[in-house]
Structure 1
Amino acid sequence: MQTVSVNGYDMAYLEVGEGPPLVCVHGSLCDFRIWSATLGPLTRTHRVIAVSLRHFFPDRWDGIGDTYSIAQHVEDVIAFIEQLEPKPVDLMGHSRGGHVSFRVAQRRPDLLRKLILAEPGGELDATLDPEFKPGPSPLAARIAASAEVIARGDIDGGLQIFIDALEGPGAWKRLPAAVKEPLRDNATTLIGQTRDKRPPFSKADAEAIRTPTLFIGGANTKGALPKVLHTLAAHVKGARTEIIPGTTHPMFEQAPQRYCEIVLDFLAGS
Structure 2
Amino acid sequence: MLKLIRKFVVAYALCLLGVSACRSPAIYPPDKTAAVNGTRLAYTESGRGAPVVFVHGALSDTRAWAGQKDAIASQFRFIAYSMRYHSPNDWQDDGSMYNIPTHASDLAAFVKSLNTGPVHLVGHSFGGHVAAQVAMEHPELVKSLVLEEASIFTVLDSPGGKAVVEAFFRSVPSIKAELNTDGSAKATEMMIDSVLEDPQAWEKAPPLWSTMWRDNAKTLGPFLSAAPPPIDCSRVGTIKAPTLIIEGANSARFFHEIDSKLLQCIAGSERVSVPKADHLVQVRDAEAVNEAILGFLTRHP
TM-score > 0.5 by shorter chain: yes
Larger relative contact order, structure 1 or 2 (CA cutoff 8 Å, min sep 6): 1
Secondary structure at the counterpart of residue 265 of structure 1: helix
Structure-2 residue corresponding to 1:54:
84
Structure-1 residue corresponding to 2:35:
5
Moved over 6 A (4+): none
User: Identity of aligned pairs, percent?
Assistant: 31
**Which of the residues 250, 255, 280 maps onto 1:220?**
250
Q: How does 1:30-49 map to 2 (within 5 A)?
A: 30-49=60-79
For 1:150-190, what per-residue CA distance to the aligned partner results, in whole angstroms no more than 9, with x for missing partners? 35444432122111111222111222444311100111111
**Which of the residues 154, 159, 163 maps onto 1:124?**
154
**Which of the residues 102, 122, 132 maps onto 1:102?**
132
Secondary structure at the counterpart of residue 67 of structure 2: helix
**Which of the residues 233, 241, 247 maps onto 2:271?**
241
Give the gaps of 5 or more residues in structure 1: none
Q: How does 1:131-210 map to 2 (within 5 A)?
A: 131-133=160-162, 137-140=166-169, 142-167=171-196, 168-210=198-240
State the distance in 2 between where 1:111 and 1:105 align. Answer: 7
CA contact (8 A) 1:150 1:188 kept: no
Give the TM-score normalised by structure 1.
0.92
> Does 152-161 or 32-41 show the bigger shift?
152-161
User: Structure 1's 117 and 261: CA in aligned 2 closer, same or farther, altered over 3 A?
Assistant: same
CA contact (8 A) 1:93 1:117 kept: yes
1:82 aligns with 2:95: no
State the distance in 2 between where 1:177 and 1:154 align. Answer: 21
Secondary structure at the counterpart of residue 93 of structure 1: strand
CA contact (8 A) 1:29 1:186 kept: yes
Aligned residues: 268
CA contact (8 A) 1:114 1:211 kept: yes
User: Greater helix share, 1 or 2?
Assistant: 2
> Does 192-201 or 142-151 show the bigger shift?
142-151
What code does the residue aligned with 1:184 have? R
Give the TM-score normalised by structure 2.
0.83
State the distance in 2 between where 1:62 and 1:152 align. Answer: 25
**Which of the residues 225, 249, 252 maps onto 2:282?**
252
CA contact (8 A) 2:60 2:212 kept: yes
How much does 1:133 deviate? 4.5
How much does 1:85 deviate? 2.7
What code does the residue aligned with 1:160 have? E
For 1:86-116, what per-residue CA distance to the aligned partner results, in whole angstroms no more than 9, with x for missing partners? 2111011000000001110000001111000
